[in-house]
Amino acid sequence: MPYLVRENLYIGNIEDAAEILVNGSEEVTHILSVLSSASISFFSEWRSEMVFPTKEIRKVYFRESKQEEEQLVVEEESETDSDKKKKNKLMCLVEYAGKDLKLVRMGVPLRDMERENLLDYLDVCLDFIDNSRKQGSVLVHCFAGVSRSASIITAYLMRTEQLSHEDALVSLRQSCEFVCPNDGFLEQLKMFEGMGFKVDPTSPIYKRFHLKILG
Is the pLDDT assigned to residue 89 strictly greater than 80?
yes
User: Would you state the pLDDT for residue 86?
Assistant: 44
User: Would you state the pLDDT for residue 70?
Assistant: 40
User: Would you state the pLDDT for residue 213?
Assistant: 82
Query: Which range, of 42-51, 100-109, 112-121, 122-131, averages the lowest pLDDT?
Result: 42-51
Q: How far apart are CA 55 and CA 76, in angstroms?
A: 14
Which amino acid, 208?
Answer: R
Mean pLDDT of 97-110: 96
User: Would you state the pLDDT for residue 49?
Assistant: 85
C-alpha count within 13 angstroms, C-beta hemisphere, residue 64: 11
User: Would you state the pLDDT for residue 62?
Assistant: 79
Q: How far apart are CA 82 and CA 188, in angstroms?
A: 32
Q: How far apart are CA 207 and CA 201, in angstroms?
A: 7
Task: Quickly state the pLDDT bin for 74 (edges 50, 70, 90).
Answer: very low
Mean pLDDT of 9-23: 97
How large a percentage of the chain has pLDDT more than 90? 80
Task: Quickly state the pLDDT bin for 215 (edges 50, 70, 90).
Answer: low
Is the pLDDT assigned to residue 30 strictly greater than 80?
yes
User: Would you state the pLDDT for residue 182?
Assistant: 98
Residue 72 belongs to domain with CATH number? 3.90.190.10
Q: How many domains does the chain have?
A: 1
Reply yes or no on whether 142 is catalytic. yes
Largest CA distance in the chain: 49
Task: Quickly state the pLDDT bin for 148 (edges 50, 70, 90).
Answer: very high
Give the predicted TM-score (pTM) of the model: 0.89
Is the pLDDT assigned to residue 69 strictly greater than 70?
no
DSSP state, residue 176: -
DSSP state, residue 202: T
What DSSP element (H or E) covers 60? strand 54-64
Name the residue among 46, 45, 32, 59 with its Cα closest to residue 148: 32
DSSP state, residue 71: E
Residues 187-196: pLDDT tens digits?
999 999 999 9
Is the pLDDT assigned to residue 172 strictly greater than 90?
yes
Task: Quickly state the pLDDT bin for 204 (edges 50, 70, 90).
Answer: very high
User: Would you state the pLDDT for residue 80?
Assistant: 47
CA 147: distance to chain centroid? Answer: 11
The single residue of 92, 142, 176, 180 carrying the catalytic annotation is 142
Residue 108's domain comprises 3-213
